[in-house]
Amino acid sequence: MQKTFKRNVGWIFIGNVAHAVLQYLLNIYIARVFSTDDYGLINYAASLIAFFTSVGTLGFSGIIIKSFSEDEKNTGKYLGSAIGARLMFSVGAIVLLQVIVRTANSEDAMLPTIVFYQSISILFGAFDLIVYWFRYQYEAQRVAVLKLAAFFVSAAWRIVVVAVFRSLTGYVFGVTLETVVFSILLAVSFRKNYPEHRFHFSARTVRDLLLISYPFITSEILSTIYGQTDKIMLKSMMNNEAVAMYSVALTLASAISIIPQALIEGFRPDILKYRATDPAQYHRRLKQLYASVFWICIAYCIAITVLAKWIILILYGEKYLGAVPALSLVVWYTTFSYFGSINNIYMVAENKAKWVQITTLVGALTNVCLNFLLIPRFGVVGAAGASLLTQFIANFVMVYLIKPLREDFFLILQAIRLDFK
């Protein structure tokens, strides 16, 4: 089990690192080729899409592994029902998004087309639930290979349309193409390797899943609000160029995400399994995860703060130097952001998922208020400060203030001290 666990974490890490590095290199190329105004428009559209993606997920990502662990023989029914429900909700989200964009936008002529291409990913993204089954089965290698295959198809398209045609809409379609190809590969691989788990849609199963996941639906919507509001408010209060500067800062700040995300996804199945079978090992795994994420992020934050100017100058060029002050500040939000992801695992394991809504609501309200106050006065730096304070309050302070979650707060403190007893 220990060897399998380490191999699973290792493959998640390898897959995430390879994909993220290639994706970052491609994003740098795109940022250099397009104007800051166009790059800001792409990121603004992505923020709009994120709001509707959060609705389409239905919170199933946070609870599907728990369903597998409790009733593995009905995996086909759980996946078929969850994917079917997400497909139906996604269609509604896409239609509503187009209505809003076409009636509310008057400045950017390309925005409706860009949003339409990107919104296709909401529909096909329903199949990413299959990823959680493969990871539950310790088959992260399969996911890594399929993900990279989809990326290479998408990257080839994007490089050609940008290098040859300088097409903004062609590039955006290429971004969506990755999700489409990955979803098809996931579905085919699942059908081939697990024929005994045929997809089966059950309205009753959807209802049962929603009764568990509803706190995560609200949480994901609220998380999107405090994760994307800054870009949308920067666009409304300033311009596309401000969105571009902030997006570059966020991209570099979150570059470290490949490591924490791999650790979190690798540890998740073990933590949930040990909760029922070995409480001591369950707490040890949680603290190991917290400690690993914390110290990796702290080291990264220090390095980025010191080298921010040179990193942006080398990677993005002189036209993005305006992002330096924001990067030096917003990079520190990463630690508390990943604490939030681990907090959610704890709340699922302890059947305390209802508190996800409270912590996320506090985060959403805090972020909107801080952006409203800070952006007019400090611009992009104000948005960066709002993000940092929001993550600290929602994912650390609130865990202490909410009494049923206080055990998790002290687990964090023990983990930071490297106390794994």
Question: 351's torsion region: left (phi>0), alpha (psi -120 to 50) or beta?
Answer: left
Residue 242: the pLDDT is 93
* Closest CA relative to residue 74, chosen from 86, 64, 87: 64
Residue 8: the pLDDT is 59
pLDDT band at 15 (very low <50, low <70, confident <90, very high): low
- Average confidence score pLDDT of the chain: 83
Instruction: Kindly tell me if the per-residue pLDDT of 5 is higher than 70.
Output: no
User: How far apart are the C-alpha atoms of 234 and 382, rounded to whole Å?
Assistant: 10
Q: Where are the alpha helices (DSSP H) in 137-278?
A: 140-165, 168-193, 203-237, 240-253, 258-277
Residue 247: the pLDDT is 93
Percent of the chain residues topping a pLDDT of 90 = 23
Average pLDDT over residues 126-154: 82
Instruction: Kindly tell me if the per-residue pLDDT of 18 is higher than 80.
Output: no
First-to-last CA distance in the chain?
21
* Model pLDDT for residues 310-323, shown as the tens digit of each residue: 999 999 999 999 99
Q: Quick check: 62 and 82 in contact, CB under 8 A?
A: no
Q: Which of 5-19, 120-134, 391-405 has the lowest mean pLDDT?
A: 5-19
Residue 71: the pLDDT is 66
Q: Which of 9-18, 102-111, 243-252 has the highest mean pLDDT?
A: 243-252
Residue 237 CB: number of other CB atoms within 10 A? 15
pLDDT band at 47 (very low <50, low <70, confident <90, very high): confident
Q: Quick check: 331 and 381 in contact, CB under 8 A?
A: no
Which whole-number Å values give the CA distances from 312 to 21, 328, 372, in the listed order?
Answer: 16, 11, 27
Higher-confidence position of 181 and 285? 181
Token duo for residue 254: 């979150």
One-character DSSP codes across 347-383 = HHHTT-THHHHHHHHHHHHHHHHHHHHHHHHHTHHHH
pLDDT band at 74 (very low <50, low <70, confident <90, very high): confident
Q: Does residue 316 sit in helix, strand or coil? A: coil
Query: What angle do the packed helices 111-124 and 36-56 form, to 10 degrees?
Result: 40
Token duo for residue 390: 């929001």
Instruction: Kindly tell me if the per-residue pLDDT of 204 is higher than 90.
Output: no
Residue 40: the pLDDT is 92
Q: Which helix (H) or strand (E) holds 386?
A: helix 380-392
Higher-confidence position of 361 and 307? 307
Higher-confidence position of 318 and 266? 318
* Model pLDDT for residues 165-197, shown as the tens digit of each residue: 888 889 999 989 999 999 999 889 888 888 777
pLDDT band at 384 (very low <50, low <70, confident <90, very high): very high
* Model pLDDT for residues 86-95, shown as the tens digit of each residue: 888 888 888 8
Instruction: Kindly tell me if the per-residue pLDDT of 99 is higher than 80.
Output: yes
* Closest CA relative to residue 371, chosen from 229, 249, 224, 227: 229
Instruction: Kindly tell me if the per-residue pLDDT of 35 is higher than 70.
Output: yes
User: Is the Cα torsion angle 355, 401, 341, 257 positive or negative in sign?
Assistant: positive
Average pLDDT over residues 24-46: 89
Which whole-number Å values give the CA distances from 243 to 131, 194, 247, in the listed order?
Answer: 32, 44, 6
User: How far apart are the C-alpha atoms of 232 and 224, rounded to whole Å?
Assistant: 11
Q: Does residue 201 sit in helix, strand or coil? A: coil
User: How far apart are the C-alpha atoms of 378 and 387, rounded to whole Å?
Assistant: 13
Residue carrying the six token digits 């929001």: 390
Instruction: Kindly tell me if the per-residue pLDDT of 420 is higher than 70.
Output: no
Average pLDDT over residues 396-416: 83
Query: CA dihedral in degrees (40, 44, 45, 48; nearest 10)?
Result: 170
pLDDT band at 65 (very low <50, low <70, confident <90, very high): low
User: How far apart are the C-alpha atoms of 348 and 344, rounded to whole Å?
Assistant: 6
One-character DSSP codes across 276-302 = HH-HHHHHHHHHHHHHHHHHHHHHHHH
